[in-house]
Chain A
């Protein structure tokens, strides 16, 4: 009997040990095929002549209440189109020190004070009272939803209470990062939160590229009720008339000074004149210069070719567990007093070059695909709630588009590939007449113009549609 039992036990152990080894499904076939095709033949040194692009591209079509229009200049870089691996490695400490010194203007800046146990305890009490009280009568949620939300908050507060100090103070910072665990994916992040009530600098960086990195700088406009906005944005250039007090060149120099510290590859793309009349009270007549600023959008250039950028597109895999990766965006707002704000999301680090010069599909093929795909991508089916949609493409650029490394859900790594990027506006009109400036794929929208959005993106190698939201 004992032998039988021992035998069974041994068998069980064997069964228990024989778990299937974990092997990820590797090598994305499709991307590999595309790369092989792109690097199969050496492309000419310049991209423009073989492509035979028109200076202006016009096209219109209508499908029910949806209209599609391309009235765009076509930009093709002179440099050959490369394929380059990139990664979101964030902002190094050295660069953070340089930016801190520049943006703090030599003034003392302090780290935010840690919340003490007493303060958190107060919040815990308040939370508990709210749970007992329940939701307001006109609250748009059930009691269970209300309670669950507060219970989650309570759990967070209790954990914070455990780690909180008895007392805390605002320490002076020299721009050194502090390590913290957190964020959406509980990644190890280096964080600098510096503030002196006049200006604030926040740099979040993930050296492992497993969460988003960003830099935000604000000069607090305590004397203004409303800050600057893009509602009345107008594209301007060096020769454009500007309100008094705004010196275009001076502002550009200030921006360039920061760009130099940020690192190579970044350059100014578009400059807008904006104001602080959020309610739209201006009638287009230039007022006092103190109400105006310049909004400077920048983009990266790799091997002389610009990288596509859109402020609103965040790519992610359809797998909800992958890490969202926003396209790199860099925007400055500068007024007569100086830098008002800087927002730099997902700085890219260029890695290996896969191809110096990529073979591209002829432009006519692209044209054919674009003019047919545009109405398909923005077809009315399933969008019956829209009264109308106006798709207006104002710029078409052959540049580098970032696609994500397939099946890599653990880090922010991708490939810059040549792509035809169609910029413009998607103007939705709802059934109640409300208008929206939608984002790619009509996935979101703004009440007012924020700058040109990516409307369509075609892989310049094979003509396939690249979805910026998916990243492939």
Chain B
């Protein structure tokens, strides 16, 4: 059974009990009051009848009156004041009566105190109220009775009781109905909480519930929202961390691909090819440089992936950065017929993470190299530094304008098929952007399809 049903039923039962008790008390009181009033009225009328009758009879009575006259006088005086409720009895003989009961059997006055006798109860299937007293006329005792049928009063009380009970039941039913809706309204937030919890479990982490007010349900809703917010934040953090890890793995594989390829090439040369001492030394230096680079790359990538902790920069000469990037890229470029032209116009220093900047430039150079068709006659790539700005440009196919806004998204490729064929992972420019952002540098792009592209990183 639902909570609101239980509450409604319980409240209804309590309400019914309370109403019945109150109704019972009220009805009993009302019954007693009504019957008491009826009795008082009957007493008053009987007394008025007895007094008027006896006064008149005694006024005219003379001791030597004949029996016939006495009877006639007494009857006449009684009939003057009595209506159909009056009964006159003498020595057990009914002299005047319109009723079939003998009231003297039920309501005998107190002989000692003279108090009237009163009877109220069932007689021959009717509820009667009988009041009787004794009067002395002609030295004889006359019983003056009043018989009032109060069956209607009892019937009215029964009807009142029944009505009262029906009203109580109706009131309880109505109250329960109203209570049901009130409780339903009060517990609605719980249902919303339940639904919200299910939605959050299904993945809608931004779902919240509204619960205005200051009651317990509102507090529960607020706590729920707080919990949902914490869950959402945690999920976001985990998602972000997962994304960074993915980027790291992707970045590592992406960044290591080139130097590993060069390492493999140089190793092959050292192993098999007949090289001059200078060429051998050159290859060995490359292998050392590539190893060192890869080591630095891993550290830098770790730092990059943990960018929320910030990067450590140190003053570094852009010229040195350019040189290292050229060295690490030359072999790979030459094998593809791409010429790299490097120029450094300013010999200043910038606060940089040198390794990450080398990676940035290498990614841009690689990206420029890939912008040419494999059978293009000339494939120049320009790497320059001037005025606190690194620029990598080419005269390749260019980037369509509709792709320029998304080019820095991880794994986004303008031409997926060509990019994969050329070995791209879709992370290069994302890394470039992340490195530029980490340095606080502005990364801009100018490109015109068919004419070439220029990436600028301005500090």
Contact = CB atoms under 8 A, between A and B. Distances in A.
B277 interface: no
Chain A CB within 10 A, most for which of B72, B83, B99, B100: B72
Chain B CB within 10 A, most for which of A25, A407, A463: A25
Interface in A90-142: none
Contacts of A318: 83-84
Interface string B74-97: 011001000110000000011111
A8 B172 CA distance: 13
A23 B76 contact: no
A55 interface: no
B348 to A, nearest CB: 90
Contact of A368 (B68, B149, B165): B68
B206 interface: no
Interface stretch (B38-46, B155-163, B216-224, B415-423): B155-163
Contacts of B9: 1
B93 A33 contact: yes
Nearest to B147: A25
Contacts of B342: none
Interface stretch (B105-113, B123-131, B290-298): B123-131
Given A18-B158, A20-B125, A319-B84, A8 B96 contact: no
A464 to B, nearest CB: 5
Interface string A315-330: 0011100000000000
B165 A15 contact: yes
Given A20-B151, A33-B94, A365 B68 contact: yes
Given A29-B100, A30-B94, A464-B72, A365 B158 contact: no
Given A23-B125, A376-B76, A467-B79, A365 B97 contact: no
A419 to B, nearest CB: 13
Nearest to A22: B151
A382 B13 CA distance: 65
Contacts of B68: 361, 365-366, 368-369, 462-463
Contacts of A15: 158, 161-162, 165
A377 B76 contact: yes
B72 A23 contact: no
A403 B438 CA distance: 128
A391 interface: no
Contacts of B97: 28-30
A465 B154 contact: no
B94 A29 contact: yes
Nearest to A5: B169
Contacts of B69: 365, 368-369, 372-373, 463
Nearest to A407: B98
Nearest to B93: A33
A376 B84 contact: no
B166 interface: yes
B71 interface: yes
A264 interface: no
Contacts of A319: 83-84
B300 to A, nearest CB: 75
Given A15-B161, A361-B68, A464 B94 contact: no
Contacts of B139: none
Contact of A8 (B65, B79, B94, B169): B169
A29 B75 contact: no
Interface string A1-40: 1001000110010011011110101111110010000000
Interface residues of A, number: 40
B126 A372 contact: no
B60 interface: yes
B183 interface: no
Nearest to B83: A318
A376 B158 contact: no
Contact-residue bracket for chain B: 35 or more
Contacts of B124: 23
A315 B9 CA distance: 65
A98 to B, nearest CB: 40
B166 A12 contact: yes
B100 A26 contact: yes
B319 to A, nearest CB: 92
Interface string A434-472: 000000000000000000000000100011110100100
Given A15-B162, A317-B84, A376-B60, A27 B100 contact: yes
Nearest to A371: B69
A20 B121 CA distance: 12
Contacts of A12: 162, 165-166, 169
B66 interface: yes
Given A16-B162, A29-B99, A23 B126 contact: yes
A361 to B, nearest CB: 6
Contacts of A462: 68, 71-72
A208 interface: no
B72 A25 contact: no
Interface in B55-76: 60, 65-66, 68-69, 71-73, 75-76
Contacts of A20: 125-127, 151, 154-155
B125 A21 contact: yes
Contacts of B149: 25
B151 A376 contact: no
Given A19-B158, A20-B155, A28-B97, A373 B76 contact: yes
A406 interface: yes
B28 to A, nearest CB: 14
B407 to A, nearest CB: 71
B178 interface: no
A190 B65 CA distance: 52
A361 B69 CA distance: 12
Nearest to A19: B155
Contact of B126 (A16, A25, A458, A464): A25
A28 B76 CA distance: 17
A1 B155 contact: no
Given A407-B98, A465-B75, 14 more contacts: A20-B154, A23-B124, A25-B149, A28-B98, A29-B98, A29-B99, A30-B94, A30-B95, A30-B96, A366-B68, A368-B68, A372-B73, A373-B73, A464-B71
10 contacts: A9-B169, A15-B158, A23-B124, A27-B100, A28-B100, A30-B94, A30-B97, A376-B73, A464-B72, A467-B79
List the 3 shortest-distance A-B pairs measured between CB atoms, nearest first. Answer: A365-B68, A29-B97, A463-B68
